[in-house]
Amino acid sequence: MNDFNRDKEKDIRDDIAWAQINKDVLQSIDKPRSAFWQLFAFAGFLFAIGVGCEIYQYRVGLGVGNFDNPHMWGLYIASFIFWIGMSHSGTLLSAILHIIHADWRKPIYRFAEAMTTFSLMTAGLFVMVHLGRLWQVYYALPYPNERWTWPNFQSPLLWDAMAIFTYLTSSMLFLYVGAIPDFAICRDNATGWRKNFYTVLALGWMGTDRQWRNFRVSYMTIACFLIPLAVSVHSIVASDFAMSQQPGWHITSFPPYFVAGALYSGCAAIITLFIVLRHTFRFEEYMTFPILDKIARLTFAIAMVWTYLNLIEFASVWYGHDMYSKEVLIQKATGPYSPFWWTMIFCGSVVPFALLSKWVRANLTAMMIISLLLNLGMWLERWMIVAPTFSHGYYPWTLDHDQWPSFVQWGIVLGSFGWFGLLFMLFCKLVPSVSMYEVKEMVYHRTLARKHAREA
């Protein structure tokens, strides 16, 4: 075996000292590579663009986004679904893989969970940006008030608001509870203001048996609670469309289709961030190639589920009797949106086949490009759900194939990536993005297994 292959197959060392793990992970908080600050500045720049566009839109009105009568929704709702989708991977990795005892998730689940929380926050922003009267957003919340008015509990948008808030609070709890033992390690090693910061966050964690037992139970409970939430939240987002009457939206298979798409884009985003973190924080020892290999396989499997559900949708529309839906489908494939629609098919269903190659799965550059392409495809998918139905609905007088989102809409979409990036990177700087205690656990279990194998 040559050096290249040995490097590609190397997993976390069994004999790594626990102190070494602490040292490696803690230095990520202290001094990341300069790429970190460059990315941070870039994210800040994007965010500034988005904020500028939003201020302009808030003052002048939504018309500056170039909406019009049939095109009532645009990139905001498309990006909203995209960000909600991104949030699913964290739960998949941390909660689902946690209860099925998939060991390999341990070094990477922390940042996947952070991704969940921050992409939900980003999605929430899009709800606000989308509204015509942002200053009245609280009308959508069921709070007791002297006017005796309630929101409309029949509306899928209200279900959305509730599902997202529930998911957001639960995922934040999950993220926080899971990080308490690591906060304690940070507390023990930090100095200055950081010491106080981590002391508060660690909640007096001493690592006693009793604490560990309570910790295990609560962590498992939240994990079990989170899994149905993750499924329900994107099913409800799908209901925004499936419950409506419009051609191209009124499709029964939308909820599972949305959930599959969500897991898909989430996995792709995990690969992207995996590579970025591995470099900027010098996590080569922990974010190893075998782990990347496993996420890549998982991504491929989900990509095929997504492709299958896509085919089901096309087939049921094509062979159904609803001529309006059929026209929308034909419009997607041949109309003004066709370049984007075919790009989506290519990125979502063809590109993942590259993951079948072992060489690709072990090549960071190739994986980076592929994961970005997959995410591009998934963003386009959301846009292709929203826009073509508006351009080609039921009523012939209002067919409008020419409307194009203005720079304000594009600017805010870019800004959302900046906002997500800022939050995420700030998190990685303050909280260990590799779970130290879980990695130790993993190493310990492996040593134990090897010992048993030797003795047997």
CB closer to another protein, 158 vs 330: 158
Give yes or no for residue 151 binding another protein (CB under 8 A): yes
CB closer to another protein, 59 vs 454: 59
The answer to whether the CB of 268 falls within 8 A of the CB of 299 is yes
Give yes or no for residue 34 binding another protein (CB under 8 A): no
Instruction: Take residue 348 and report the two structure tokens written for it.
Output: 């979502």
**Angle subtended by helix axes 338-345 and 364-391, to nearest 10:** 140
Residue choice 42, 44, 56, 155 for contact with another protein (CB under 8 A): 155
Residue choice 44, 52, 156, 256 for contact with another protein (CB under 8 A): 156
Binding to another protein by CB under 8 A, coded x per residue (else -) over 189-228, reads ----------------------------------------
Q: Which residues, 6+ apart, have CB-to-CB distance to 12 below 8 Å? A: 107, 285, 286, 288, 439, 442, 443
Residue choice 37, 150, 308, 353 for contact with another protein (CB under 8 A): 150
Q: Which residues, 6+ apart, have CB-to-CB distance to 296 below 8 Å? A: 271, 355, 360, 361, 367
**Dihedral over Cα of 330, 331, 332, 337: its sign:** positive
Binding to another protein by CB under 8 A, coded x per residue (else -) over 161-180, reads x-------------------
- Selected range binding another protein among 100-108, 136-144, 186-194, 289-297, rule: CB under 8 A: 136-144
Q: How far is the CB of 58 from another protein (least distance, A)?
A: 10
Q: How far is the CB of 113 from another protein (least distance, A)?
A: 29
Q: Which residues in the 112-131 window bind another protein by CB under 8 A?
A: 130-131
CB closer to another protein, 69 vs 214: 69
Give yes or no for residue 69 binding another protein (CB under 8 A): yes
Question: Binders of another protein: how many residues, by CB under 8 A?
Answer: 48
**Displacement of CA 298 from its chain's centroid (Å):** 15
DSSP track, 128-165: HHH-S-GGGGGGGS----TT-----TT-HHHHHHHHHH
Residue choice 17, 48, 60, 350 for contact with another protein (CB under 8 A): 60
Give yes or no for residue 322 binding another protein (CB under 8 A): no
Q: Which residues, 6+ apart, have CB-to-CB distance to 264 below 8 Å? A: 85, 299, 302, 303, 305, 306, 348, 374, 378
Please report where in the chains the tokens 């489908």 appear, as a residue.
Answer: 329
First vs last C-alpha separation in the chain: 28
CB closer to another protein, 134 vs 172: 134
Q: How far is the CB of 75 from another protein (least distance, A)?
A: 14
Q: How far is the CB of 350 from another protein (least distance, A)?
A: 31
Residue among 240, 281, 264 at smallest CA distance from 370: 264
Binding to another protein by CB under 8 A, coded x per residue (else -) over 231-260, reads ---------x--xxxx--------------
Residue choice 2, 6, 34, 146 for contact with another protein (CB under 8 A): 146
CB closer to another protein, 114 vs 387: 387
- Selected range binding another protein among 17-25, 166-174, 192-200, 398-406, rule: CB under 8 A: 398-406
Residue 173 and residue 430: Cα distance in Å, rounded?
17
Residue 253 and residue 268: Cα distance in Å, rounded?
23
For the chain, helix, strand, coil in percent to 5 are 75, 0, 25
Binding to another protein by CB under 8 A, coded x per residue (else -) over 346-385, reads ----------------------------------------
Give yes or no for residue 312 binding another protein (CB under 8 A): no
Helices (H), 131-253: 156-189, 193-202, 209-242
The CB-side HSE value for 296 (13 A sphere, CA atoms) comes to 27
Please tell me what DSSP assigns to residue 440: H
- Residue length, the chain? 456
Q: Which residues in the 401-420 window bind another protein by CB under 8 A?
A: 403
Is residue 121 packed enough to be buried (19+ CB in 10 Å), middle (13-18) or exposed (0-12)? middle
Q: How far is the CB of 152 from another protein (least distance, A)?
A: 4
Q: How far is the CB of 140 from another protein (least distance, A)?
A: 5
Residue choice 393, 405, 415, 421 for contact with another protein (CB under 8 A): 393
Q: How far is the CB of 67 from another protein (least distance, A)?
A: 6
Q: How far is the CB of 333 from another protein (least distance, A)?
A: 22
**Angle subtended by helix axes 209-242 and 254-280, to nearest 10:** 130
Q: Measured at the alpha carbon of residue 357, what is the angle toward residues 352 and 363, in degrees to the nearest 5?
A: 90
Query: Footprint of another protein on this chain (CB under 8 A)?
Result: 60-63, 66-73, 130-134, 136-137, 139-140, 144-146, 148-152, 154-158, 161, 240, 243-246, 390, 393-395, 397-398, 400, 403
